Amino acid sequence: MKRFSIMMVFSVVFLCIATAAATASAAPEFTLRFAGQLPPEHPGTGYMNQIAKEILERSGGRIEIKVYPANQLGDYGLVHQELIKGTIDMAMISVPGDIDPRMNFVYINGYATDYDTLEKVFEPGSWAYKKMNEFNQALGVKFLGFNVEGFIGIASTKALVEPLNPAVDKGVLCRVPNMSAYQLPAEAMGFRTMTIPYSDLYTSLQTGVVDAVDGLPPAAAYSILKDVTKYWYALNYSIECEPYFISMKTWEKLKPEDRDMIEEVVSAIAAKSVPLAKTEDERYMKLMEEAGIQVFKYSEEELLPLMKAVATTWPALANTMTKEFVDEFVKELAPK
């Protein structure tokens, strides 16, 4: 009897070990590819890794997410196309406006100059949130939230002439992204502009092809242009952000409870991005100063003349975004 009892105990223990081993080695039900464009050490990529970790844990190992930062799966335009096809599952990327230019509304200059406003603009349920989801769902992509990197300013090798006076030529040739949402406002603020690819920013500033660069928040400007920048102007006329997306083809394969869980995880992490953006902007401007770069910061009141000048360019965006949409944007996001 004693021998039988011992054998039963060993059998139960063996069964438990075998079951645990089988569970640990079982393949996940879903393995999703999560594409990003930021460097591995960037806070945004850290958010992606955190999302993957939390979803793996909360799904009990059923949903595994593999993170691919630094454009490993292609640039943001290509990745968005693959989301539509369902060949990439998730992404945190810049907004591509080639199919629907209205999606570039997040890059319109002048609708916010402070972080409190950004939190309201990009919170779940906001007008911006609903519009980004509406435009993407029409293409077969679901929007999950915004990662806000920070406010954009001007990195320059030359001192600007009267930087807060839009009526004065700034005395520099400034690189702008290839979007009317950037080019028109830069010219309204007094800059002469030239379109140059992101990959050529350093050499263009170093060789004097341009004197200044538009389109970067402090973290990116410091990381990429620190050695060739002498001045940083925190004009806060626009923001850098990357939405979180998931392919609808992937979304439809998931159980309703898994969809709810993924939305909850991403929303919670996205909500952290604006407070972190404020911290990171300040941290990198301090690093700029320590590196010998002259940093100029301004109050909302001081920036007001520039924002008014920028707002005069909004009607021209109707050429690509439609008048109906621009009118709605002005109604919802123009500073009150």
pLDDT tens-place string over residues 186-243: 999 999 999 988 778 999 999 999 999 999 999 889 988 999 999 999 999 999 999 9
Give domain limits for the chain: 22-333
pLDDT score of 21: 43
pLDDT on residue 26: 62
pLDDT value for 7: 46
Closest CA to 105 of 239, 234, 258: 239
Task: Name the DSSP letter for residue 198.
Answer: G
pLDDT at 12: 45
What letter does residue 27 receive in the DSSP assignment? P
What pLDDT does residue 197 have? Answer: 83
User: Tens digit of pLDDT for each residue in 34-56?
Assistant: 999 988 888 889 999 999 999 99
Instruction: Count CB neighbours of 197 within 10 A.
Output: 10
- Per-residue pLDDT at 8: 45
Task: Determine whether 118 is exposed, middle or buried from the number of CB atoms within 10 Å of its CB (0-12, 13-18, 19+).
Answer: buried
pLDDT < 50 regions, the chain = 1-25
Q: Which of 20, 305, 281, 58 has the alpha carbon at shortest distance from 166? A: 305
As a whole number of angstroms, the distance between CA 193 and CA 196 comes to: 10
**Dist. CA 330–CA 315, nearest whole Å:** 9
Strand 231-247 vs strand 90-92: parallel, antiparallel, or unpaired? antiparallel
Neighbours of 98 (CB within 10 A): 10
Domain 22-333: CATH superfamily, name plus number: Bacterial extracellular solute-binding protein, family 7 (3.40.190.170)
- d(C-alpha 48, C-alpha 51), whole Å: 5
What pLDDT does 224 receive? 87
Structural contact between residues 122 and 130, judged by C-beta atoms closer than 8 angstroms: no
The pTM score is 0.85
